[in-house]
Structure 1
Amino acid sequence: MTTTLVTGGTGALGRPVTERLRAQGHDVRVLSRRAVPYSVDLRQGGGALDAAVTGVDTVVHCATSPRGGDEQAARNLITAARRAGVGHLVYISIVGVDRVPFGYYRSKLAVERLVEDSGIGWTVLRATQFHDLLLTVFQGMSRLPVVPLPARVKDQPVEVTEVADRLCELAREAPAGRVADMGGPEIRTMDSLLRSYLQATGRRRAVVKVPLRGAAYRAFRAGGHLAPDHAVGTRTFEEFLARRREAAAARAHG
């Protein structure tokens, strides 16, 4: 039996990764700031991190924060993993980190380079944005009577559990370097995705398309964050919303 450490193992992606690896018979350790017994802030490192990686064969690195600190967290994780003799480091990144000059994307790209230069066997998977992220964005924006959307921007959302399946597959295999990107099944306008959300939630909102400025917006508008040749996901945004409604209804009648 192999031992796998999942960083960010209580998060939107880390949780299904953990569940699937355990179901497949792996000994899985969950690392996050609040997970017991491996409660670790990767940005701080220290003895608790060393204990978490000791005896680990593979690390699946899902922990991330748009608020910053990913690079320091990766440095600490890599240093501890090297000391512990970890054989495989699997990292989840984002499609377009090398094409879109957006702050969070730059940080993810920097972590990719740290992983590549770590001296540990590595695998990097880039995925498009999760359905869950769009849901969070639309929930916040729809609190307004008029919803502003960036003009002429499309997205290719993917189901997080499908990305989890792919990460588990990669974690079971030998280090593969940079693997093929993983995109959702459809490239859609933000307007059409928002309208699907509004219809599913029974909300009526005016939508205004706002042209923005800057290099990041131009890159998003040009589709730098999309993977049209790797539309391997199967669950659409509408199917994702329908499953959430079904789950909510089941809990309400549970």
Structure 2
Amino acid sequence: MSTILVTGGTGTLGSLVSERLRAAGHEVRVLSRHSPQYPVDLRDGGGLDAAMAGADVVVHCASSPRGGDDVAARHLIDAARRAGTAHLVYISIVGVDVVPFGYYTMKLKVERMLEASGLGVTILRTTQFHDLVAQAVGTAAKLPVVPVVPLPKGVQVQPIAVDEVADRLAELAVAPPAGRVEDMGGPEVRTLADLGRAYLAARGSRRRVVTFPLAGRAYAAFRRGGHLTPEHAVGRVTFADFLAASAHR
């Protein structure tokens, strides 16, 4: 069995990946600034060499919309080289190469850093998680624009279950490095407004969804569907399934 280091291992995706790898008998090291075993700060690399020592694989799930992913990736790459770690698996997003959105641009930069690192690398791009769509709509529903919920006009989404992505990452972690593998998309493409209405209905809300246009190249790219991959609609869990399951948690 392998020793596998998981960054972001306490997050929504990373925790599920860690669970699956442990269940398969692997030693899993979860990186966190507050971990009693592996206290690591990817922003400055502190504690990373000790955590990386003897690790066969790194699954890199840690990410921050506030920036700094490139700095974290540089520290991780350098530490992996020093430790002789054979394989680094990275989770990215469909459309990072065509949607000029800041967070996407940073994810693409990290992809390119990994590809140029000389390490064994596997990169998986997926569409947005169901949880993220629900969070976005839920946040919009809290805005003081009673009784409506404002959402961007003309944007489609192809959400996927985080559990299915965790299954795939755990599978890739124990396989040989494969470069960029096939994208993963959710089972259906629907407008964000439609998903918003479904979310509100599932929670018994009578608020009405109102769509509005935005400006900028990123919005235009989202409207063109640059973040979608209908040809790779491999997910099985629909947004309706997600909402039904959430109601019973």
Q: Give the TM-score normalised by the residue count of structure 1.
A: 0.95
Select 1:246's aligned residue among 228, 245, 248: 248
Q: Deviations over 1:219-253 (max 9, x none)?
A: 00000000110000000111111111112xxxxxx
For each residue in 1:124-173, what CA deviation from the matched residue of structure 2 results, as whole angstroms up to 9, or x when unmatched?
A: 00000001111111111112322111111000000001000000111110
Paired AA for residue 15 in structure 1: S
| Structure 1 contact 122–176 (Cα < 8 Å) conserved | yes
Measured in 1, the distance between the counterparts of 2:36 and 2:99 equals 37
AA paired with 1:78? I
User: Any conservation in 2 of the 1:10–1:35 contact (CA below 8 Å)?
Assistant: no
Please state whether the residue corresponding to 1:194 is helix, strand or coil. Answer: helix
In 1, distance between residues paired with 2:39 and 2:243? 33
Preserved contact between residue 130 and residue 159 of structure 2 (Cα < 8 Å): yes
State the superposition RMSD in angstroms: 0.8
How many residues align structurally?
246
User: Percent same amino acid at aligned positions?
Assistant: 65
Q: Distance in 2 between the 1:50 and 1:166 partners?
A: 27
Aligned to 1:90: 89
Match of 2:232 in 1: 230
Tell me how far apart the structure 2 counterparts of residues 94 and 39 of structure 1 sit (CA, whole Å). 27
Residue from 181, 184, 187 that aligns with 1:182: 184
CA displacement at 1:212 relative to structure 2: 1.1
Q: Where does residue 168 of structure 1 map in the other structure? A: 170
CA distance in 2 between counterparts of 1:83 and 1:200 reads 50
Distance across 1 between alignment mates of 2:37 and 2:244? 36
Other-structure match for 2:63: 64
Please give the residue correspondences for 1:136-147 in structure 2 after superposition, counting only pairs within 5 Å.
136-144=135-143, 145=146, 146-147=148-149
**CA distance in structure 2 between the aligned counterparts of 1:17 and 1:34, rounded to whole angstroms:** 19
Match of 2:215 among 213, 216, 222: 213
Q: 1:7 corresponds to which letter in structure 2? A: T
Per-residue deviation, 1:188 = 0.4
- What is the deviation of 1:187? 0.3
Gaps of 5+ in 1: 248-254
Paired residue for 2:206? 204
